[in-house]
C-alpha cells in the first residue's frame, strides 16, 4: 500500500509548488517509487516539474463519452480505458506523473468514472509513495484513494484570506469519507516571525503549523525560466524548509 501524501488549499497559495518540492525531496532521498497525481483541474504540477502533459484522465473520459462504441475490435471497455490510462502516465526515471485534468461535462459519467477510479486506485498500490496535488474540494481524495491518507497538508500563503479559505477546507473534511492519519498547516512565502493576528487565526482553526516555506527568490526565477523545481539547489531556502518538514513528518 502506498504512503499517500496530499496537499489542499485555494488557488494561488503555493500548494503546487510545495507538492513539487516534496516530490523533489522524496526522489532525491531515494525513498522508492513515487506516483505524482495532479488532481487539480488547473493542472500545473507537470509544469512545475518541467513536463509537457499530452493526455489527461479528463481527456480520456471525454473521448470515450463522445464515442462509447469506438472501442477497438476484440477489446472490452474496461481493458480499453485501462490501456488509455497506462498510455497517459508520464514515466520518468525517479517518478511517474498522472494528470486528472478537466472535470466532467454534461451527461452520466458514472460507469466510466467507476472504471477509471478503480484502475487509478489499483495503480497507486504499485508505488511506495503517492503525492497528490488536490483541488480545494478534495473530491479526488474521497473517490480515488480508498479514503485513506497518511499526511494531508493544508497549504496557505501568509494571509488571513488564505487561512480562512483553509478553515473552510478543514471544515469540509468532516463531510468526506477520509481517514487522515496526520493533518497540519503549511505556510508558503512565510516570514521568519508570524504575526499575532495570523497565529490567532491558526489557533481558532485548531491545527498545528507543521512547516513554513520562506519567500524564496529562486522559485520565481525558476518559474520565469520554466525550469523544473526538481533542479533547485540543495542550498535553496525552500528546499531546506521542505527537508526539515519531511524529516519530521515522513522519516525513513
The pLDDT score that the predictor gives to residue 106 is 61
Alpha-carbon distances of 175 from 74, 96, 142, 172, 178, rounded to whole Å: 42, 31, 10, 6, 9
Exposure class string for 49-66: b at 16+ Cβ within 10 A, else e: bebebebbbbbbbbebbe
Instruction: Name the DSSP class of 176.
Output: S
The pLDDT score that the predictor gives to residue 147 is 66
Task: Give me the sheet containing 3-8, strands edge to edge.
Answer: 90-91, 96-99, 34-39, 129-134, 3-8, 148-157, 179-190, 209-214
Name all domains of the chain by residue range, CATH numbers in brackets. 3-249 (3.40.50.300)
Nearest to 94 by CA among 155, 137, 31, 38: 31
| Average pLDDT for runs of 10 along the chain of length 252 | 87 93 95 91 89 89 85 88 90 93 66 74 87 76 65 95 90 81 95 95 95 95 94 97 94 73
The pLDDT score that the predictor gives to residue 208 is 96
d(CA 131, CA 47): 16
Amino acid at each position: 500500500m502506498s504512503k499517500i501524501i496530499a496537499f489542499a488549499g485555494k488557488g494561488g497559495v503555493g500548494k503546487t509548488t510545495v507538492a513539487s518540492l516534496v516530490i523533489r525531496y522524496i526522489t532525491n532521498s531515494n525513498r522508492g517509487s513515487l506516483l505524482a497525481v495532479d488532481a487539480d483541474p488547473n493542472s500545473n504540477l507537470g509544469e512545475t516539474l518541467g513536463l509537457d502533459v499530452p493526455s489527461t484522465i479528463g481527456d480520456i473520459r471525454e473521448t470515450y463519452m463522445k464515442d462509447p462504441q469506438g472501442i477497438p475490435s476484440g477489446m472490452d471497455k474496461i481493458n480499453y480505458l485501462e490501456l488509455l490510462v497506462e498510455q497517459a502516465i508520464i514515466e520518468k526515471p525517479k517518478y511517474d506523473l498522472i494528470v486528472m485534468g478537466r472535470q466532467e461535462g454534461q451527461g452520466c459519467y458514472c460507469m466510466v468514472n467507476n472504471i477509471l477510479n478503480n484502475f487509478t486506485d489499483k495503480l497507486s498500490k504499485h508505488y511506495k509513495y503517492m503525492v497528490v496535488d488536490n483541488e480545494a474540494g478534495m473530491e479526488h481524495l474521497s473517490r480515488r484513494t480508498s479514503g485513506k491518507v497518511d499526511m494531508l497538508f493544508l497549504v496557505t500563503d501568509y494571509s488571513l484570506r488564505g487561512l480562512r479559505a483553509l478553515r473552510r477546507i478543514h471544515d469540509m473534511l468532516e463531510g468526506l469519507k477520509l481517514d487522515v492519519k496526520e493533518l497540519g498547516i503549511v505556510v508558503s512565502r512565510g516570514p521568519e516571525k508570524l504575526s499575532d493576528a495570523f497565529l490567532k487565526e491558526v489557533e481558532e482553526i485548531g491545527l498545528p503549523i507543521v512547516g513554513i516555506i520562506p519567500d524564496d527568490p529562486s522559485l520565481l526565477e525558476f518559474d520565469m525560466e520554466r525550469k523544473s523545481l526538481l533542479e533547485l539547489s540543495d542550498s535553496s531556502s525552500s528546499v531546506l524548509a521542505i527537508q526539515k518538514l519531511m524529516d519530521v513528518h515522513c522519516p525513513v
